[in-house]
Structure 1
Amino acid sequence: MKHILPIITALLCVNFYAQASEPAGKTILARGSVLATNETAQQRQLQRRDTVFGIDRITTGNQSKAQFSMLDGGLISLKENSELNIANYQFDKNTQQGSASIELLKGGLRSISGVIKKNGGAYDVKTPVGSIGIRGTHFEVQLVDDNVFIAVWDGAIDLTLTNNNVLSLGDNEAFSFAQITSTGDVFTTTRAAAVFDQTIATIEPNSESEETEQTQTASTNNTIIEDDSTADAYSEQQFQAVDNAFLVDQIAQRQGVFNYSASDFSVASSAGGVTDFSMTMAVDFDNGTVPDGEISFNDAGGTWYAAYSGLINVSELDLAVTFASYGNNKAQGDIDAVFLNDLDTIIGNFQLSEINNPDVNASGSFILEP
């Protein structure tokens, strides 16, 4: 009896917790220390596939990061040493309507808005200097000391400052990047701040122009990056929300083998720039398996190659690397992937490293489509 009571108590706590708030999304990546704290100060360590709720405050530790697929298909990525409060995230899958409000308290986040914003719902991100209203976008926010840095990679945002002035950034605006100080001073520029780990193609300044007058272009498609903290499954594509029950029906209806290949990717390598990225995956819906898949790309040190296979497990794919190499050296790795868009999209992350020298490594994210 003494062993049964703690189990019953734990189940009651879980049931109460589930009833206290509606789910806001799912964890699709959790590396290092990723904690969720509810309104009663209960904490839990988040792992891949774990649900996040509308009362959760999520924190990432040192050398940690997390990524979440929200109810409406929106994507949120948290960098290390970050703190995010999910103040509100409501979405009706029948009407495809909802609203969302999140608050970045510390660190940095990257986000792509989903169906809520696409269908005209309210979606805002609160920061220490004001509230960001989204106009269908892919954007990034980083808090550094008392400064807020903002980058808009696609779409546009309206930042309502604490003095009620509105700063608009992104498409059809003069600038896509800004720094706002704690005193409300605003510095806009066409060059992304160094705090953003993104490779951006810029036109070098000439002797007659200032940095804020330079032309800059940024694209998330086929971006080659050199820092693992940006190796997340993101693109400019707007994803559709999918629940597990719906996916079970979709998987049951599909027949045969579907061959997926990379439509978008981000790659980081310890040897620098990456070229010739290729990734394929065969999904056998009749047998519920991934019979084979391959990843290959080049960097300054040679060619990375990995073969993998696995099983379909509802929204996710349980994948295992069966062989990996870097040049003539043996390597190891792991792959995480999930279905989106009625099974027409697979997003995920991978990590590879030499077995005898783990400091030689590469990692990245991918989006696969038939």
Structure 2
Amino acid sequence: MSLKTIKLLLTCLLITFSVQTLAAESIGKVVLAQGQPIVERDNQHLPIKRNDKLYQKDRLITPVGSRLLIKLKDKTTVSLAENTVFELSRYTFGKKKSDVSFKMIKGAFRTLTGAIGKQANPKFEIHTPLATIGVRGTEFWGGMIFSDALDVTMLEGKGVYITNEFGTVDITRPGEGTMVKQGMAPSDVSVWTNEKLKKAAAATAVGSPGNTDDENNLDLFQLMNEAY
């Protein structure tokens, strides 16, 4: 075997090792788990609990009665309602530039962006069966639990855009939302009622059974602000 061939093989091995190492790096962890949530990883379905590490390509599944709160390396938090399937498709976090692409297959979620949302031009998208939701540093809610349509609302922040092949809308003020039906552009932005906002928040609230709302919110605030 020639020296050139040996060098080529060593280079290939180093590249393979680097890719495997990168793929194996944790991108976040479970902050709180209720019920019996599952992670689909490497063709296996595994139970997950608080402080378990999360990785790119993980598919999070919350059966009926289960909910999850996760935190990513940049301190972005995502809470999942019961009966949700949510995939951590791609997560690249850098000090100046990041690239995040997640997928909600069904259910509902609530997201509060961390350091990524403070970057100049963050790329943070969540893909759903009906539209793509893009974030500009904000807290927002999206789900398909009120009907077959996708509902999206901004809770606070700079803005959210919702786009599909039929059109695009921007939400720029807290409490505003849109609805996306199959085969249609996102609806005109409108103000959500307090009742709808409360139902959305309740669907993705994660806490210990028996806690009051105030206690639950305090628990989550403390958990979300722990160092990663």
Q: Same fold (TM over 0.5)?
A: yes
Q: Secondary structure at the match of 1:160?
A: strand
| Partner residue in 2 for 1:69 | 71
Q: Which digits, 9 at most, give the CA deviation of each residue in 1:274-315, with x for residues without a partner? A: xxxxxxxxxxxxxxxxxxxxxxxxxxxxxxxxxxxxxxxxxx
Contact 1:142 1:195 (8 Å CA) reproduced: no
Query: Matched residues in 2 for 1:99 and 1:43: separation?
Result: 27
Residue 115 (str. 1) matches residue 115 (str. 2): yes
The 5 A counterparts of 1:137-286 are 137-144=138-145, 145-155=147-157, 156-163=159-166, 165-171=167-173, 176-187=176-187, 188-192=189-193, 196-198=197-199, 227=202, 229-232=203-206
Q: Cα distance 1:352–1:197, how it changes in 2: closer, same or farther (>3 A)?
A: same
Q: Cα distance 1:154–1:19, how it changes in 2: closer, same or farther (>3 A)?
A: closer
Contact 1:54 1:89 (8 Å CA) reproduced: yes
| Partner residue in 1 for 2:103 | 103
Contact 1:86 1:102 (8 Å CA) reproduced: yes
Query: Matched residues in 2 for 1:351 and 1:181: separation?
Result: 34
The 5 A counterparts of 1:286-365 are 349-352=207-210, 364-365=216-217
State the 1:98 CA deviation.
2.1
Query: Matched residues in 2 for 1:181 and 1:100: separation?
Result: 25
Q: Cα distance 1:58–1:171, how it changes in 2: closer, same or farther (>3 A)?
A: same
Q: Secondary structure at the match of 1:23?
A: coil
The 5 A counterparts of 1:48-59 are 48-59=50-61
State the 1:43 CA deviation.
1.8
Q: Which digits, 9 at most, give the CA deviation of each residue in 1:134-169, with x for residues without a partner? A: 111110001135310111111210112222x22101
Query: Matched residues in 2 for 1:160 and 1:185: separation?
Result: 8
Contact 2:96 2:119 (8 Å CA) reproduced: yes
Structure 1's unaligned 5+ residue stretches are 1-16, 200-224, 233-348, 354-360
Q: Secondary structure at the match of 2:117?
A: helix
Q: CA RMSD in A?
A: 2.9
Query: Matched residues in 1 for 2:66 and 2:118: separation?
Result: 30
Contact 1:76 1:112 (8 Å CA) reproduced: yes
State the 1:62 CA deviation.
0.3
Query: Matched residues in 2 for 1:189 and 1:41: separation?
Result: 42
Contact 1:58 1:83 (8 Å CA) reproduced: yes
Query: Matched residues in 2 for 1:97 and 1:185: separation?
Result: 30
Query: Matched residues in 2 for 1:166 and 1:81: separation?
Result: 28
Contact 2:163 2:169 (8 Å CA) reproduced: yes
Contact 2:133 2:163 (8 Å CA) reproduced: yes
Query: Matched residues in 2 for 1:52 and 1:109: separation?
Result: 17
| Partner residue in 1 for 2:133 | 132
Q: Secondary structure at the match of 1:59?
A: strand
State the 1:195 CA deviation.
5.6
Query: Matched residues in 1 for 2:96 and 2:74: separation?
Result: 8
Contact 2:86 2:103 (8 Å CA) reproduced: yes
Query: TM-score by structure 2 length?
Result: 0.76
The amino acid across from 2:181 in the alignment is T
Q: Cα distance 1:118–1:19, how it changes in 2: closer, same or farther (>3 A)?
A: closer
Contact 1:350 1:365 (8 Å CA) reproduced: no
The amino acid across from 1:56 in the alignment is D
Contact 2:109 2:204 (8 Å CA) reproduced: no
State the 1:197 CA deviation.
3.5
Contact 1:21 1:55 (8 Å CA) reproduced: no
State the 1:196 CA deviation.
4.6
Query: Matched residues in 1 for 2:196 and 2:204: separation?
Result: 12
State the 1:114 CA deviation.
1.1
Contact 1:35 1:45 (8 Å CA) reproduced: yes
Q: Which digits, 9 at most, give the CA deviation of each residue in 1:96-126, with x for residues without a partner? A: 6422111111000000011112113311111
| Partner residue in 2 for 1:313 | none
Q: Which digits, 9 at most, give the CA deviation of each residue in 1:338-364, with x for residues without a partner? A: xxxxxxxxxxx55447xxxxxxx7661
Residue 22 (str. 1) matches residue 51 (str. 2): no
Q: Secondary structure at the match of 1:364?
A: helix
| Partner residue in 2 for 1:346 | none
Q: How high is the sequence identity, in percent, across the aligned residues?
A: 21
